[in-house]
Chains A and B, each alone.
Chain A
Amino acid sequence: MTRLNKWLRDFSLPGSEKLRKIDKAQLIRYAMLVLAAGVVLFPIFIMITTSFKTRTQTFSMPPVWIFKPTLKHYQEVLFSGNFLKYLVNSLVVATSTAFFSILIGAFAAYALVRFKFLGKRAVSTVTLLLRMIPPAVLIVPLFVLWLNIGISGSRAGLIFAYIALNLSFTIWILRSFMNEIPVEIEESAVIDGCSELGILFRIVLPLIKPGLAVASIFVFRISWNEFILALVLTNRTTRTLPVAISLRITQVGVHWGEITAMATIVALPAFVFTFLSARSIIRGLTAGAVKG
C-alpha cells in the first residue's frame, strides 16, 4: 500500500490531495475489474491454447506457455469422423429454429401488442410461465411422443422442440420492441388500406430490426448450445455438436487436444456474436431488469 501511495505521489499531477484520492480509488477499482476479467478469460485462453498444443505439451508440468502451435487436432477433428456432419446438423437446427421462432413469435407478439381480445392477460401470463419449464421435465414425454408421431431421431423433431422452448422468450422480446412503435404509424397504414399481415411485414418488422437481431442471436445461441434434449431426441446421424463432444469425453482416455479443438469450434459463434453485438445482447439479457 505504501508503495502504491508513493507511486501515486510521484506520478499523479501536482495539486490537490483530493485528486490523488480519486485516482487511488479509481486505480483500485480498475485493478479489481481487471482481476475479475482475468479470471473470466483465463480458462477460455487455456482451452484455446490447449487445442493448439501437442500431447506432450498438454501434459507437461509446469505448463508450457510459449510453444509452436500445431493444427494437428483441428485437421483430425475436421477431416476424420463425423464432425462435419454434426456441424451441419447444428447449423441447420439452430438457423431453422431461429427463423421459425421469430416468424411465429412475431405473429403472436403482434397480436398481443396491437389487439384487445378476450384472454389476452391469460396468454401473457402463460407465456411467461412456460419459460420456467426445465428441459429435464420434457425429455421423457417428448422422447415418447416424438417416437409415436414418427419424428424421433430427426432434425425436424429437434427443431420443433426447440421452437417451443424458445418461443415464449421470442414473443416477450419482440413484444417489448413492438411496444415502442408509435400507434400513429400503423394507423396511417390502415388508412392507406394495408392489411394486418401487410402492416406486420412491411411496417412493423422493418421498424424492429434491432429486436429481430437480438432475438435471432438469442435463439440461435440457445439452440446451438442446447444439450439434453439433443442427447435424447437425436441419433447417430442427426446429433448436434454438443452431443458429439459429450460422447467423446465420456470415453476412456480423454483426448484433450481434439476435445478442446471441438469445444473451441463450438464456442466460436459465441465469441463472434459477443464481440460484434455485445450491446444488443446485454439489452436482451437485462431487458427485464431495466423495464420491469
Chain B
Amino acid sequence: MKAKKILQKLTPYGFLAPAVLIFALALFYPVFYSIRLSFFNWRLVEVYRKAPEFVGIQNYIKIIQSPAFQTSLKVTAIFITITLATELIVGLGLALLAERKIKGLHLFRTIFLLPIMVAPVVVGVLWRFMFNPNYGLVNYFLGLLGFENVLWLSKPFPALTAVILTDIWQWTPFVFLMLLAGLQNVPEDVLEASIVDGASYVQRLRHVKLPMIKSIIGLTIVLRLIDGLRALVVMYVMTNGGPGRATEVLSLHIYKKAFVSRRLGEASTLAVFLIIILLIVSTLLFQFFNTERRTSA
C-alpha cells in the first residue's frame, strides 16, 4: 500500500521527465554555457584544437566599447520602436473596422493570416525583390506617383526603412488578429449600456473598449517585443545587415560575430547582453501591465 502511494506521488514527475530532460539539455545548459563562455576567448577555428582561454571581463569591456555593438543597439531600438508603434496603431484601426458584424470577415482574417504563416526567409526574398531599385514594384509605383528611383537596399536610411516596412507588412496582421479577438470578447451588454447612456463612438472607445482590452494590448506588446528582439532572418536575406551595419540588429550581430568574425567568446558576451535586455524589458512590461490590471480591477 505504501509503495503504491509513493509510486502515485512520483507519477507526475515521470510524465514531466522527458520534457525536463530536453529543456535541460537544449535550453538550460546552452544558456548557462553561453554565460560561461562570455568570459573566455575562443575562436571558431580553435574549436577542435584548443580549449577556451579565460580572459575575465575583457570581452565585456571590449564589447561595451565597440562601435558595432553600439550601432546594433541603436538599430534594434529604432527597429523595435517604429515597427511596434506602427503595428499597434494600424492593427488597432483595422481591428476596429472589422469588429462589427461584417460579411466576409472570415475571408479577411484568413488573408491577414498569410504573412504570419509564411517563412521569414520567403518574406525576405519577396520584399528584396519588391525593393529592387531597377525592376522592383515599390520603385515602379513610386515612379507612377512621380518620385525618383530610390536605392532601397544599398543606402543606410532607405535600407532600414525597407526592413521596417517589411516587418510592418508581416506583423501588423498579428496585432490585428489579437486585438480583434479581444474586441470581440468585450461583453455585448456593457457596450449596449454605454450606448443607452448616450456615449459617442469616441467616448465608448476611450472609456469602455480600450480599458477592457488593455491587458490584451499589453500581451501583444510583450509578444511583439520578444519577437522584435529575435528578428534577424529578414535582415539577413534582404541586406545581410548592411549597407555597413545600417540594418544589423543585435541578434544578427551575434550571428555575425560568431560565424563571420568567428569569435565565439565575444558572441557569447553579446548573447548575455541580449538576455539581460530581454529580462529587463519583459519584467518592466509585465510589472506595468500587472499593476494596471490590479488598479482597474
CA distance A26 to B105 in the complex (A): 13
Q: Chain A nearest CB: distance from B92 CB in Å?
A: 13
Q: Chain B nearest CB: distance from A125 CB in Å?
A: 11
Identify whether the interface residues of B are mostly helix, strand, loop, or mixed: helix
- In contact, A246 and B29 (Cβ under 8 angstroms): no
Q: Which residues of B contact A112 (CB under 8 A)?
A: 16
CA distance A221 to B113 in the complex (A): 13
7 A-B pairs with least C-beta separation: A164-B26, A141-B30, A225-B119, A115-B12, A111-B15, A136-B251, A270-B117
Does A62 make an interface contact (CB < 8 A)? yes
CA distance A118 to B32 in the complex (A): 25
- In contact, B237 and A246 (Cβ under 8 angstroms): yes
- In contact, B119 and A224 (Cβ under 8 angstroms): yes
CA distance A233 to B121 in the complex (A): 17
- In contact, B125 and A288 (Cβ under 8 angstroms): no
User: Which residues of B88-123 are within 8 A (CB) of A?
Assistant: 94, 97-98, 100, 102, 106, 108-122
Q: Annotate A119-137 by CB proximity to B: 1 below 8 A, 0 otherwise.
A: 0100100100011111111
Identify whether the interface residues of A are mostly helix, strand, loop, or mixed: helix
Q: Which residues of A contact B109 (CB under 8 A)?
A: 278, 282
User: Which residues of B187-239 are within 8 A (CB) of A?
Assistant: 215-216, 219-220, 223, 226, 229-230, 232-233, 236-237
Does A201 make an interface contact (CB < 8 A)? no
Q: Chain A nearest CB: distance from B101 CB in Å?
A: 10
Q: Which residues of B contact A227 (CB under 8 A)?
A: 119-121, 233, 236
Give the size category of A's interface with B. Answer: 35 or more
CA distance A143 to B18 in the complex (A): 22
Does B246 make an interface contact (CB < 8 A)? no
Q: Which residues of B contact A130 (CB under 8 A)?
A: 23, 27
Does B268 make an interface contact (CB < 8 A)? yes
Given A137-B274, A270-B119, A289-B216, is A144 in contact with B264 using a C-beta cutoff of 8 Å? yes
Q: Chain A nearest CB: distance from B124 CB in Å?
A: 8
- In contact, A134 and B230 (Cβ under 8 angstroms): yes
Q: Annotate B71-102 by CB proximity to A: 1 below 8 A, 0 otherwise.
A: 00000000000000000000000100110101
Q: Which residues of B contact A43 (CB under 8 A)?
A: 126-127, 130, 137, 169
Does B291 make an interface contact (CB < 8 A)? no
Q: Annotate B253-269 by CB proximity to A: 1 below 8 A, 0 otherwise.
A: 01100110000100110
10 A-B pairs within 8 Å (CB atoms) are namely A46-B129, A60-B135, A63-B135, A108-B16, A115-B12, A137-B271, A164-B23, A227-B233, A256-B129, A259-B125
Which listed residue, B22, B30, B177, B268, touches A286 by the CB 8 Å rule? B177
CA distance A279 to B108 in the complex (A): 12
User: Which residues of A100-158 are within 8 A (CB) of B?
Assistant: 104-105, 107-108, 110-112, 114-115, 117, 120, 123, 126, 130-145, 147
| Additional A-B contacts beyond A133-B31, A225-B119 (13; CB < 8 A) | A40-B112, A110-B15, A131-B226, A134-B278, A136-B230, A139-B254, A140-B254, A142-B26, A160-B22, A160-B26, A227-B119, A271-B114, A285-B174
Which listed residue, A32, A114, A266, touches B122 by the CB 8 Å rule? A266
